[in-house]
Amino acid sequence: MCAYWAGQLLMPAQTALDLRTQTKNVDFTQALSTKPNKSGATLPPACTLGETFFLTGAPAGQNLYGCTDANAWSGLGANQLPTNSLPGQILAWDGSSWQPKSGLGISLALSFVSIADGTCSELPAPLPFPWPTGSPVTLTMPAQYCDLNSGTCYAPVGLMPSVRVSAPGIATLRMCNFSGAAQSLPTANYGVVQYGSNATKVTLAFPPIPDGNCAALPVSVLGAMDASAIAVGLPSVLEQGLMVVAAPAGVGLVTITACNWSGATLTPAPASYQINVI
């Protein structure tokens, strides 16, 4: 009887094993389930070096964290994608992580049947990626408009183009004609590139602009230099006859210039602009 009760007292203690010291060659491939990491919606405030944690509140694929120093969690996985990337972007490896570099170049086949002198015409085109409205973009003119001597592409003399993302996944190309005669442009490929990493967002209110005149507003943009290339994200809607461009204006400065070719004085509505240094 004593031996029986002694065995009963010992049995519970024998069911708790120390896997570190009492096992070897552990194989969990046949286990019904395995959960090797602690988990939760937020990272614990305290941890010791070598701990891991599954963060249920993180985006899918970015859930695993490791304690790389006392009370310091770091995301695990060298190929972890940045949270600020957009569909269709090109990522660049900066030595420790992938970061957005630029958008994927999109070619839009468009044709302008007739643009009367002194007017603007615009055409929308679907994009293969849902770039957000107002994304900073650049425009490359079709190859037939290139100056073969310098290799630089310009619009035909007297034409002024601009492009904007007017709705998610929709680009709108505006072409204004100041050539002195009506212009027709056959179907051609216009290149659009999106730059969506860490754009500077500002709301600008231009003063009244007389017809045929321009107004410029300075914007502080981190990283801008005298020779910087600038991508600008225009508002989803632009007043008829209004053209807006961006250019570097010195260290940390970019100038946004709005020109009015509507035929009358125009006061652009206050709108949001996004500016990115390429």
Domain extents for the chain? Answer: 25-80, 106-193, 200-277
How much is the pLDDT for 155? 59
Cα separation, 220 vs 275, whole angstroms: 10
Give the alpha-carbon dihedral of 141, 142, 145, 148, to 10 degrees. Answer: 100
CATH assignment of 106-193, among 2.40.360, 2.60.40, 2.70.40, 1.10.15: 2.70.40
How much is the pLDDT for 142? 84
- Taking phi over 0 as left and psi of -120 to 50 as alpha, with beta for the rest, 251 belongs to beta
pLDDT in tens, the chain (278 residues): 555 555 555 555 556 777 667 777 777 778 888 888 899 999 999 999 999 999 998 877 778 899 989 999 888 865 566 666 666 666 666 666 666 666 667 899 999 999 999 889 999 999 888 888 998 999 988 877 665 555 556 556 788 899 999 998 899 999 998 888 998 888 999 999 888 767 899 999 999 999 989 999 999 999 999 989 999 999 999 999 999 999 999 999 999 999 998 989 999 999 999 999 98
- Please count the other Cβ atoms lying within 10 Å of the Cβ belonging to residue 129: 15
How much is the pLDDT for 244? 95
Query: Which residue is listed with tokens 């900066």?
Result: 94
User: What six digits make up the tokens of 222?
Assistant: 């981190």
Pair 100, 86: CB distance under 8 Å: yes
Q: Which residues touch 216 (CB under 8 Å, ≥6 apart)? A: 255, 256, 257, 258
How much is the pLDDT for 129? 81
Q: Which residues touch 102 (CB under 8 Å, ≥6 apart)? A: 89, 90, 193, 194, 195, 278
How much is the pLDDT for 96? 61
What does each C-alpha distance from 230 to 196, 242, 245, 247, 249 come to in angstroms? 12, 19, 9, 6, 11
How much is the pLDDT for 268? 96
How much is the pLDDT for 80? 60
How much is the pLDDT for 59? 75
How much is the pLDDT for 158? 82
pTM beyond 0.85, yes or no: no
